[in-house]
Structure 1
Amino acid sequence: MQLVVARIGRAHGIKGEVTVEVRTDEPELRLAPGAVLATEPAEAGPLTVAEGRVHSGRLLLRFEGVSDRSAAEALRNTLLVAEVDPQERPEDPEEFYDHQLAGLEVVTRDGTRVGRIAGIAHLPAQDLLVVHRTGGGEVLIPFVTEIVPEVDPAGGTVLIDPPAGLLDEGPGES
């Protein structure tokens, strides 16, 4: 199974380094020197990580064969994709890959069915569960412990404790 682990940002310096927006909780594993990553679009890769470092709080990577700023800038907005065993789980038991959450049923503490997880929106501040409501429409649920206290992939459910107003129907929804 393929998972997006990063998005290439702008070039940094003149020697082919790029900034990356990390989309994995295991960058030391997925983006380590020697890692070979597929790309979206596919014609940009595959790319092999030559070296990486943190600079001013951002991860910088350099890829084999990318030796100047122009080549690095040409990779901007390219997604880096790692091949992952579908049975593999992150080391932290409270972390999940997107594919492990997709399709799980979302229910409230009182047993009310909300809908099914259609995907995860990875935003800078936090991740959001994109839930297709049982009765139609969709709702975005912040994927934080206070609101999502329990995830049970084996049982096929995600338990939520939504604050007031989170599940209210928006304009145009019913």
Structure 2
Amino acid sequence: MTKPNLVLLGRFGAPHGVRGEIRLQSHTADPLAIGSYGPLTDKSGSKTFKLLSVRPQGKDMLVARVEGVADRSGAERLTGVELYIAREKLPAPEDEDEFYLADLVGLRAEARDGELIGHVVGLSNFGAGDILEIQPSQGETILLPFTKAVVPIVDVAGGRVVVEPPAEVEGPAD
């Protein structure tokens, strides 16, 4: 799980060429905007990366030049590194229905009647969509799909999400 005050903006891919450029997958609404946020950090916040230039390569990929990386071996060392920014450096959401996933960590998770289910401890995405992780006061973490049907209300200002867990489906007894 990521520190709640960091937001994932992208991930370095494989080197591109021999002069230190590297592929970059951007998670920003405008993929090229990742280059305009200033220095980014790794997950621990201990390493900083300044993107000197960013250009598109194909439909879903960028190519970046990173300060201090001048050759292919330097770019190879960055392969797979995720790029984060402090939440407070991001602009406020424009619409009432917009929020950053990082803003959900720590919110109360309640049933529609207001009964406390637990607290949001994280969000994950393993490729099939976002998963909301809720820690109840006792027991194991509850993992739920983060969809409008399961989480119909997100009230960041009110410090809560309303959760309607899907009915469990049982298979044959054998």
* Cα drift, residue 38 of structure 1: 2.7
Cα distance in 1, alignment partners of residues 126 and 21 from structure 2: 24
1:161 paired with 2:164, answer: yes
Which residue does the alignment assign to 2:62?
59
Which residue does the alignment assign to 2:125?
122
> How many residues in Structure 1 have an aligned counterpart in Structure 2?
166
The one-letter code of the counterpart of 2:12 is: I
1:68 paired with 2:71, answer: yes
Moved over 6 A (4+): none
Q: Secondary structure at the match of 1:85?
A: helix
What stretches of structure 1 of length at least 5 have no aligned partner?
169-174
Cα distance in 1, alignment partners of residues 39 and 121 from structure 2: 29
Q: Secondary structure at the match of 2:11?
A: strand
Contact 1:115 1:134 in 2 (8 A): yes
Which residue does the alignment assign to 1:139?
142
Which residue does the alignment assign to 2:83?
80
Among 48, 58, 61, the alignment partner of 1:45 is 48
Cα distance in 2, alignment partners of residues 161 and 33 from structure 1: 39
* Cα drift, residue 11 of structure 1: 1.8
Among 3, 17, 24, the alignment partner of 2:21 is 17
More strand per residue: 1
Among 151, 155, 161, the alignment partner of 1:152 is 155
Q: TM-score, normalised by structure 1?
A: 0.75
Contact 1:33 1:49 in 2 (8 A): no
The one-letter code of the counterpart of 1:16 is: G
- Name the CA shift for 1:25/1:150 in 2 (closer, same or farther; >3 Å): farther
Contact 1:47 1:63 in 2 (8 A): yes
Cα distance in 1, alignment partners of residues 50 and 131 from structure 2: 29
* Cα drift, residue 162 of structure 1: 2.2
Fraction of identical pairs, as percent: 32
Cα distance in 1, alignment partners of residues 139 and 7 from structure 2: 28
Cα distance in 2, alignment partners of residues 66 and 87 from structure 1: 26
How do residues 81-120 of structure 1 correspond to structure 2 at under 5 angstroms?
A: 81-85=84-88, 88-120=91-123
Cα distance in 2, alignment partners of residues 67 and 130 from structure 1: 40
Cα distance in 1, alignment partners of residues 75 and 15 from structure 2: 5
Mean CA deviation greater in 61-70 or 34-43:
34-43
Contact 2:21 2:75 in 1 (8 A): yes
Q: TM-score, normalised by structure 2?
A: 0.75
- Name the CA shift for 1:13/1:158 in 2 (closer, same or farther; >3 Å): same
